[in-house]
Amino acid sequence: MVRGLRRPARRESGLRVATLSVLAVLAATGVACRRAEPAGSATPILVSVGVGPDGRVEPPWRDAIAIWHRGGTLDSVLAAARPLSAVERAWADSVRARAEAWSASTDSLRLPFEGIAAPQRVVVVVGNVGGQDAFTPNDSTVAFDVERLSSLYGAPGEGENPARIDRFFAHEFTHLLHRAWRREHPVRLETALDRALWDCLVEGLGNYRSLSSRWVGPGGSLTPHALTVLDRLAPVFVERLAALAHADSAEEARLTADLSMGAFDRKWGALPTALWLAAEAEGDERRLRRWVAAGPRGILELARTHLPDSLAAGLPTG
């Protein structure tokens, strides 16, 4: 998820471009309109617009947003369904236009996850009610709510939006890879601290893919802006984790509310972790494998590696 609610985005690194497979499916017609045979290990991407011409929500979008509306509120969301507006249609078109490049990028995005198979194909579903700007409703789907994208960022061609939507895909595809990793490496998240560390790891790697050139320079060096924000967030990171080591459920909710949600430069867990991972990678994302393999407790070691001693001393042990 990029911005907004919890659970229910890439630097333009040199991507190995391969011939790839793309299925672009328009819900308006229900017909697959483009397909190429896969080559290499790129993950095929199918784009599905989950809003019919009459505004009816199609099953792929209804299934995607169901994670946000448990307990009977989905019907009221669906009652507000409407056709895509002009700017929403432009976002849907931009998603469709990027599917081939996103498929080609999946080889590169897999680098931190050694030995982990990506989903055999990924469905990118687009809708305009009831979602978040970008999210992963299941193990093989990336979802974009184009109403949220329009209201948060404007039209798809404005400013840095073309690069932003690429980063959003990279962020969410990374979450799919982490889901696949966890299936092969079950982790027990029985304490508030372990759950927070897991969120730092998953959202840290996701937000690593969200970092623009404002944060990371050539070769993975952190920009002055990144270092300034890191100086501000590092004490918060330590203070929150220390408190989470003995937090009850109410305290856990309060302490983790902005771990990876809200304003990007205030995500006390996701952003420091993302920046430390960028410093670790130094432009070679195979260097991130050790931190994925280390699981949630590896976040404490990562933090100790990068925090000044005076702050590192305040981290919980474990």
| Number of helical (H) and strand (E) elements in the chain, helices listed first | 12, 6
Binding flags for Zn ion, 120-159, as an x/- string (CB under 5 A): ----------------------------------------
- If binding is defined by CB under 5 A, does position 1 make contact with Zn ion? yes
Residue carrying structure tokens 């590896």 = 298
Instruction: Give the binding range for Zn ion (CB under 5 A) out of 62-70, 79-87, 204-212, 223-231.
Output: 204-212
Task: Give the pairing of strands 45-49 and 122-127.
Answer: parallel
Give the CB-side neighbour count of residue 194, counting CA atoms within 13 A. Answer: 8
The closest residue (CB) to Zn ion is: 206
Closest approach, Cβ 278 to Zn ion, in A, equals 16
Nearest-approach distance from CB 300 to Zn ion, in angstroms: 21
Nearer to Zn ion, 1 or 57 (CB): 1
Q: Which helix (H) or strand (E) holds 275?
A: helix 270-281
- Complex with Zn ion: residue 1 or 259, whichever CB lies closer: 1
Q: How far apart are CA 88 and CA 92, in angstroms?
A: 6
Of the pair 140, 217, the CB lying nearest Zn ion is at: 140
The 83-122 contact track toward Zn ion, x by CB under 5 A, reads ----------------------------------------
Q: What angle (nearest 5°) sits at the alpha carbon of residue 111, between those of residues 290 and 14?
A: 130
Of the pair 1, 123, the CB lying nearest Zn ion is at: 1
206 binds Zn ion (CB under 5 A): yes
d(CA 99, CA 32): 14
Q: Is 220 in the site for Zn ion (CB under 5 A)?
A: no
Among left, alpha and beta (phi > 0; psi -120 to 50; other), residue 26 is beta
Q: Does residue 269 touch Zn ion according to CB under 5 A?
A: no
CB of 119 or CB of 206, closer to Zn ion: 206
CA distance 30 to 33: 9
Token match 């659970």: residue?
A: 7
Tell me which residues touch Zn ion (CB under 5 A). Answer: 1, 206
